Chains A and B, each alone.
Chain A
């Protein structure tokens, strides 16, 4: 039987961070207002966004009930998966029990949600039970649509030269092994793909290319390997300066860039991939315009490419049960695929008692853990305001961050927001977002995971 320590690690951290903050903030800021309520609040999803909201709301609300719907017992630090797939981290480093972050007083429902009835304010669970709410926070994350690539399943990752950092933590480890097997072969062609939809951590496909290039160069046999990058649109990254930088760097490092090609099918045994040429006139040039039906177009020109290793990035969307609900966007660029929220207040555009946070929302950027850090205080303030019958006062700037790994050991700390065509929003005046640096790499390797856990616990 386990003994209960006098102070748990979590409590120790809270004391430490409170001392740090306490010495710098005026007393008024410390006594953040709590709200007395009898409301039933349901948070759908216990990833970075859902867990951060559970912790924040548990601190701010007195009375009422907070229910978190999350079936998984393990919390995955997904920003670390590119480091696992690159052989820098062990997989164990990215996993913690969800119970470690669950705040006291929150009702944790360990089941999948299967439906949202927004008109009747009701959630359906796998068990058939219904969960009624007065206020809802949708933080369900993202669905990986491997099935939209013919012949592809997540189980194939690690076999037949197929890698995919997104599949799972096991998939990230198997991707590392698949790359290593390719390197050990001493020659061959690697294809790196990108998805024609918004994806979580939009820099990950580029990071995987850069870290693999590092490993190829370190092998001393770079010239024996051919590397292609197949992009579905004209751009490689949403931030314009970074987009141009990555293109130039790929050219410098001998990566053969091909644009307007979407991975449409894969034949694992033959090690062949089929790419549909979507063309510069296609909607795919704006990757937010993709609809699932467009994957089924006939008579699209295509090319077959042989590979020795391929990194597959699946198309992504909100989960099916969210897509089938009234909460999904009904028009505009995110229609049918993403949650319909105001991208500044994060309040639902048609159901004012509903808020969205994290990967599930329809926003031009923002599918990162760093975005959750910026969004969580906004949702907290606005939800409490709505609970009191007030107008949401807080505005999300669109802040997001991508520590763009440009090689194993160096990175650029890219931070930007909605304004001025995704202009940079650097957190530290002494770190230039356009510089590759060791310090930015150290942040990715050592600092961002603790920062992430601080966000989860509502401390940052």
Chain B
């Protein structure tokens, strides 16, 4: 299969979930904008417990991503299966981090006021 063919099919595959992707983008952008207006800087702010929580959420993806696809972890067998599943877990960790970091900043900012 050509790369162009794969992209075409991916476009079709993502189309039903476009609403979800748009909501995630709006939530992430909104939170970052709101936090930025209160002094948040993505490259500087670190919150260990938030990172840990995002990591745990990412790791849980190893269980629920196969379940979402009507399968189970027991059938994740080949090297490519594991690369795909760990990729999904890493993406989940990243999204969770992008939501939780500004959120935790906003909560601590609110508490400090």
Q: A408: which B residues are within 8 A, CB to CB?
A: 70-71
Tally of A-B residue pairs with Cβ under 8 A? 99
Q: Give the complex CA separation of A21 and B4 in angstroms.
A: 5
Q: Give the complex CA separation of A431 and B4 in angstroms.
A: 19
Indicate if the CB atoms of A409 and B8 lie closer than 8 Å.
no
Q: B2: which A residues are within 8 A, CB to CB?
A: 24
Q: Give the complex CA separation of A427 and B6 in angstroms.
A: 10
**With A441-B71, A445-B69 known to touch, is A17 a contact of B77 (CB < 8 Å)?**
no
Total chain A interface residues with beta-carbon distance under 8 A? 35
| Interface: B37 (CB within 8 A) | no
Closest beta carbon of chain A to B106's beta carbon, Å: 34
Closest partner residue, chain B, to A16 (CB atom): B11
Closest beta carbon of chain A to B82's beta carbon, Å: 9
Indicate if the CB atoms of A24 and B4 lie closer than 8 Å.
yes
Stretch at the interface among A42-50, A153-161, A345-353, A449-457: A449-457
Stretch at the interface among A113-121, A166-174, A250-258, A432-440: A432-440
- The interface centre, meaning the residue of A88, A436, A442 with most chain B CB atoms within 10 A of its CB, is A442
Q: Give the complex CA separation of A254 and B29 in angstroms.
A: 55
Indicate if the CB atoms of A12 and B66 lie closer than 8 Å.
no
Q: Give the complex CA separation of A12 and B71 in angstroms.
A: 31
Q: Give the complex CA separation of A9 and B18 in angstroms.
A: 11
**With A13-B11, A445-B69, A450-B13 known to touch, is A439 a contact of B81 (CB < 8 Å)?**
yes
**With A20-B4, A20-B8, A460-B5 known to touch, is A410 a contact of B13 (CB < 8 Å)?**
no
Indicate if the CB atoms of B12 and A453 lie closer than 8 Å.
yes
| Interface: B22 (CB within 8 A) | no
CB-contact partner of A441 in B9, B13, B75, under 8 A:
B75
- B11-24 to A contact mask, C-beta < 8 Å, 1/0: 11101100000000
| Interface: A293 (CB within 8 A) | no
Q: A436: which B residues are within 8 A, CB to CB?
A: 75, 77
> Which residues of A does B touch, CB under 8 Å?
9, 12-13, 16-17, 20-21, 24-25, 88, 407-410, 427-428, 430-432, 435-439, 441-442, 445-447, 450-451, 453-454, 459-460
> Which residues of B does A touch, CB under 8 Å?
1-5, 7-13, 15-16, 66, 69-72, 74-78, 80-81, 84-85
Q: A428: which B residues are within 8 A, CB to CB?
A: 1
Closest beta carbon of chain A to B78's beta carbon, Å: 5
**With A408-B70, A441-B69 known to touch, is A21 a contact of B7 (CB < 8 Å)?**
yes
Indicate if the CB atoms of B71 and A430 lie closer than 8 Å.
no
Q: Give the complex CA separation of A407 and B71 in angstroms.
A: 9
**With A21-B8, A25-B4, A450-B12 known to touch, is A439 a contact of B72 (CB < 8 Å)?**
no
Q: Give the complex CA separation of A68 and B72 in angstroms.
A: 43
Q: A435: which B residues are within 8 A, CB to CB?
A: 77-78
Indicate if the CB atoms of A437 and B66 lie closer than 8 Å.
no
Indicate if the CB atoms of B80 and A439 lie closer than 8 Å.
yes
Given contacts A16-B15, A442-B69, A454-B9, 19 further A-B contacts (CB under 8 A): A13-B11, A17-B11, A20-B4, A20-B11, A24-B2, A408-B70, A409-B69, A409-B72, A409-B75, A431-B78, A437-B78, A437-B81, A438-B75, A438-B77, A439-B84, A442-B84, A451-B9, A451-B12, A459-B12
Indicate if the CB atoms of A437 and B69 lie closer than 8 Å.
no
Indicate if the CB atoms of A13 and B80 lie closer than 8 Å.
no
Q: A439: which B residues are within 8 A, CB to CB?
A: 78, 80-81, 84
Q: B12: which A residues are within 8 A, CB to CB?
A: 13, 17, 450-451, 453-454, 459
Q: Give the complex CA separation of A208 and B112 in angstroms.
A: 62
Closest beta carbon of chain B to A369's beta carbon, Å: 13
Q: A442: which B residues are within 8 A, CB to CB?
A: 69, 71, 84
Q: A427: which B residues are within 8 A, CB to CB?
A: 1
